[in-house]
Structure 1
Amino acid sequence: MDLERVLKGSPWTFNNHVLMLHWPEKKEDPLKVPLIFACFWVQIHEVPPSFYIETLAHQIEGFLGNFLEFDGTNLGKGLCTYLHVREQLDVRRPLKMKNKVMFSVVACSYVSFKYERLTLFCFFYGRLGHSDSFCQAKMALGFDVAEMGWDLSLRAQSRRALALAVYGYEKIGKG
């Protein structure tokens, strides 16, 4: 039970660095396990309300990483402004900001992604593990880069903060 809680509660961090966790299968050599995957809850924003469905989450499968879970608990309650999926991401690859999605045979649009509990992150080339202040690729250029490819819009507000904001809004509305 504790093991499941730890694995489902990821990403875990230490000093703002992601801890890579892997539960080895039988006869799997722990020394040969590549620790390159981390699990994140990802919010999919800018989805038309009639498409808040699990099939849309599966349509994005493979674009972000490996699809693990769909959270539909807030759907239909009027509070949901995004789709909520859990993805296993390869930390060697840049995080995705948006993707073009087909909503019907004739309609397509872009959806944007926000990552919950996003840790140390490089705004220069979009990868986890270091900040742009210590990015070797940026330092190799030898000059200050004015425009970064990524920004803080990738960081999702925590679910607790969102719940408190909704609670505060309801309280003000009733008060």
Structure 2
Amino acid sequence: MGGPWQCKGDAFLVEGITAGSDPSSALFTHVPMWVQFRNIPFYLLTKKLAHDLGEMIGTTLMIDNNARGSINNKFIRTRVQLPLFMALQREIVLADDITGEEVVVQVRYERLPNFCLFCGFIGHMEARSDLPAAERKINFMPASSSPSSALR
């Protein structure tokens, strides 16, 4: 389950077709991707939560059974079928039923193809954004020097 495959930074998608069907009718609406969910208290790290978080951003395909990272910075990985018609999410807010507090889960995408820093959609970069110039602001600016590394 590799991928997403990339060519010059763009997602390279392959879709199966049946015999006799028109190849031009194939729809490319989703991209499978490993997603990391971080900043989760260790006592909440369950397969159910991994599945539910995946469903909040797409369709859960597979769950990595091993939590990763140090004890204070554990994260879970889920293989998700991400819809290309929705913007990437940087975080998900959950209610911690044990403490009653909100938990802000950080979402990081592995091998993230090119995407727009303005709108968060995979498939185009800022130069090809449909947003009017007055509405263009970088919504995915990370703390580091690489503009998209906060999501990667």
> TM-score per shorter chain, which class?
0.7 to 0.9
Matched, 1:149 2:139: yes
Instruction: Determine which of 10, 19, 34 is the counterpart of 1:17.
Output: 10
Matched, 1:111 2:101: no
- In the TM superposition, what is the alpha-carbon distance from 1:65 to its structure 2 partner? 0.3
- In the TM superposition, what is the alpha-carbon distance from 1:109 to its structure 2 partner? 1.4
* Superposition map of 1:1-175 within 5 A: 8-24=1-17, 30-74=23-67, 81-104=74-97, 106-137=100-131, 140-141=132-133, 145=136, 147-151=137-141, 152=148, 153-155=150-152
- In the TM superposition, what is the alpha-carbon distance from 1:81 to its structure 2 partner? 2.1
Q: Unmatched 5+ residue regions in structure 1?
A: 1-7, 156-175
Structure holding more helix per residue: 1
- Structure 1 length as normaliser, TM-score? 0.70
Indicate the structure (1 or 2) with the bigger Cα radius of gyration: 1
Aligned residues: 144
Superposition RMSD in Å: 2.7
Q: Unmatched 5+ residue regions in structure 2?
A: 142-147
- In the TM superposition, what is the alpha-carbon distance from 1:108 to its structure 2 partner? 3.5
Q: How many Å separate the matches in 1 of 2:54 and 2:135?
A: 36
1:87 alignment partner AA: V
Q: How many Å separate the matches in 1 of 2:140 and 2:68?
A: 29
Q: How many Å separate the matches in 2 of 1:76 and 1:13?
A: 27
Give the 3 Å change call, closer, same or farther, for CA 74–83 of structure 1 in structure 2. Answer: closer
- Is the CA contact (8 Å cut-off) linking 1:38 and 1:89 kept in structure 2? yes
Q: How many Å separate the matches in 2 of 1:135 and 1:76?
A: 36
- Is the CA contact (8 Å cut-off) linking 2:67 and 2:75 kept in structure 1? no
Q: How many Å separate the matches in 2 of 1:102 and 1:26?
A: 48
**Larger CA deviation: 13-22 vs 23-32:** 23-32
- Structure 2 length as normaliser, TM-score? 0.80
Q: How many Å separate the matches in 2 of 1:82 and 1:44?
A: 5
Q: How many Å separate the matches in 2 of 1:62 and 1:80?
A: 23
Identity %, equivalent residues: 23
